[in-house]
Structure 1
Amino acid sequence: MFIRIVKLTFKKDKIEDFKSYFQTIKYDIRNFPGCSFLEVYQDKKESNIFFTYSFWENENDLEKYRYSEVFAEVWPYVKTLFAQKAEAWSVDKYESLK
């Protein structure tokens, strides 16, 4: 398993558009084979910055998602809302304290 973190910076007047759209597609992403967890965070100071945080079983599952019909529908629309290009990281969990 690994974690995918994506930073999304939206045009300020498109924040609500993203939030509304995300409500329509969140289960399609979360229930995609190989995705076991999905959260979205909004920055406290820069309200137009969001982070997606998802757990994937393996890199092949993420690649299948990136070439899926779901992604082909989601990504082109979400990109139209951007103020800046998205940034993404694939990371392994080093340690977790509870």
Structure 2
Amino acid sequence: MLIRIVRMTFAPERVPEFLQLFEASENQIRSMPGCRFLELWQDADQPHVYCTHSHWDSADALNAYRRSALFGQVWPATKALFAAPPLTFSVTPATPDQQAADSVQ
């Protein structure tokens, strides 16, 4: 499983537009092959900063979504609302078994 976090800073006056865009597309994103989970977080101290938190079967599944027509519509519309560049990263769950295997290599 791949977990994807995207931290986005919006111009405060553009937040309603972003929320409308997210609401209109969230179920379509959740329906993409390989998407297991999607939620939206709002920063507790900076209300114009949001993060998407999503779970994907694999990097290939995430990349297939990133090549989709849906992403081609949603991401440019979202980027137009940014007040700063986004911060994106992918992580995988760390389990004791994985950590032990990694330390041997």
What is the number of equivalent residue pairs in this alignment?
Answer: 95
The equivalent of 2:37 in structure 1 is 37
* Structure 1 portions without partners, runs of 5+: none
- CA deviation profile, 1:41-98 (whole Å, cap 9, x unmatched): 0011100100110000000011101110000000110001000111111001125xxx
Say whether residues 1:55 and 2:55 are aligned partners.
yes
| CA distance in structure 1 between the partners assigned to 2:21 and 2:5 by the alignment | 19
What does 1:69-80 correspond to in 2, within 5 Å? 69-80=69-80
Give every structure 1 segment of 4 or more consecutive aligned residues whose post-TM-superposition deviation is greater than 6 Å. none
Higher-Rg structure is 2
Q: Which residue identity does 2:68 align to in structure 1?
A: S
| CA distance in structure 1 between the partners assigned to 2:9 and 2:29 by the alignment | 19
Larger proportion of helix? 2
TM-score normalised to the size of structure 1?
Answer: 0.93
TM-score normalised to the size of structure 2?
Answer: 0.87
